[in-house]
Amino acid sequence: MRIGMIGTGYVGLVTGTCLAETGNDVVCMDRETWKIEMLRAGRSPIYEPGLQELIDRNLAAGRLGFTTSLEEATSGMHMVFIAVGTPPQPNGSVDLSALWAVVDQMAQYLGPDTIVVIKSTVPVGTNAAVTRRLKELTGRLCYVASNPEFLKEGTAVDDFMKPDRVVVGARSPWVVDQLHDLYRPYLRTDRPFLAMSPESAEMTKYAANAMLATKISFINEIALLCELTGADVDDVRRGIGHDERIGFAFLFPGVGYGGSCLPKDVQALTAVGAQHDLEMLILRAVHRVNVRQREWLLEKIRRYFDGHLAGRVFGIWGLSFKPGTDDLREAPSLFVIEKLQAAEAAVQVHDPVAMENARRLFGDKLRYCQLPEDAADGADALIILTEWKQFVHFDLTKVRSRMNRPVIFDGRNLYDLHRMRELGFDYVSVGRPAVFAAAVPAATR
């Protein structure tokens, strides 16, 4: 098939490249000239494991192309995917201006049998509204399908190639059949292809992310209660996770969820409820718990240092909102860094892949360290905010000898409490008893 992909962010670039990998001819379009120039040169503008290799292979095979021309990505295509950003507005509702700009401009290039596939995350009813708009612009009924994505940053290529399900919302059986044929190579292990109404498909995306966010906020709230009652959240997590009705997925305490999906989608679904005079009580609580979780970590740091953060040096391991990506959108690290700087503390950071993105945001306000141990140099404390695998078995004796004080605030619970005590660290994690091995005033404990 000939496929047009409008938008080359995480969703559009991964989707377009993976579709080319199975033999489709794909043209990806973006209005950002610098991004298209990078891609034409064979360089991915985002970090996603496995993506660069796929871009190289499909560029060389001539199945993957990049353009800034909407006409080139639309004319003569069997399907045109819309994968533009739908960011939140101040009230939590979704900004669809980029999507409507594409719809209005692409209408003149659409063939009578071209299927427009909405890949962007959009409120319920958007498919119907796009269908009406295209009919106004073209004078005919156009085919519009909803195909929400369920890709996880850091494993997006694998998620696309081996999906746990594909969801398609369309009113035409022919459109459903065409999309089923497109996705057939990825469903060879009998993964389900779920056809439903566009409204149900749109809601499925929001409901899935809201459920995941709810699990994260739930275990984070339990973790805070564990700290106050003397329980250990690791024990509690194991105790409930073995219940098949609950499971272990997304049941890890930390400093809260971030990224481009969960925060935005929780607030968007809350806004949809408000539009229909329905207060989304659970989702409002989910969001409040997530915000509080980041503040809780800062409060632990303030308490440890008796409120005196000015002039202190803090090392940070992990900037991206999760491992496997360089994405800083809604990352807890941004909140922590801004609060420490506001308190007149110095911050030095290390992340395996997100350093350049951090430099674009903070400029010379941070010290950027190429090695993890360098971020510990002269530090009064080390703060862990992303659970990169290379941190898990890192030789912490290298870190301890270079720190001003052997203190670690672990927002991801990477280390065993007994081991940290043996290594001589003061170690404060989430939902577990704190370890105090260094000589610090009792009042700060």
Catalytic pick among 18, 142, 226, 261: 261
Instruction: Give burial (CB, 10 Å; 0-12/13-18/19+) of 307.
Output: exposed
Tell me if 346 sits within 8 A of 375, measured CB to CB. Answer: no
**Strands 407-410 and 313-317, sheet pairing:** unpaired
Q: What are phi and psi of 342, to 5 degrees?
A: -65, -30
> What is the spatial distance between Cα 359 and Cα 370, in angstroms, rounded to a whole number?
13
Q: 79: closest CA among 171, 150, 180, 188?
A: 180
Task: Tell me the helices (H) and strands (E) count for the chain, helix number first.
Answer: 17, 14
The dihedral built from the CA positions of residue 105, 260, 324 and 349, taken in this order, carries a sign that is positive
Tell me if 114 sits within 8 A of 79, measured CB to CB. Answer: yes
Tell me if 149 sits within 8 A of 11, measured CB to CB. Answer: yes
> What residue ranges in 24-84 does DSSP mark as E strands?
25-29, 64-67, 79-82
Q: Among this protein's residues, is 18 annotated catalytic? A: no
- Torsion over CA of 181, 182, 183 and 188, rounded to 10 degrees? 60
Both tokens of 308, joined, read: 């005196």
Both tokens of 433, joined, read: 């008893």
Question: How far, rounded to the nearest angstrom, does the alpha carbon of residue 193 sit from its chain's CA centroid?
Answer: 24
Q: Side chain identity at 22, as an amino acid letter? A: T
Both tokens of 344, joined, read: 């007149």
Q: 408: closest CA among 387, 389, 430, 384?
A: 384
Q: 137: closest CA among 145, 148, 129?
A: 129
Helix, coil or strand: residue 197: coil
Both tokens of 300, joined, read: 């632990």
Give catalytic residues, as residue numbers. Answer: 261
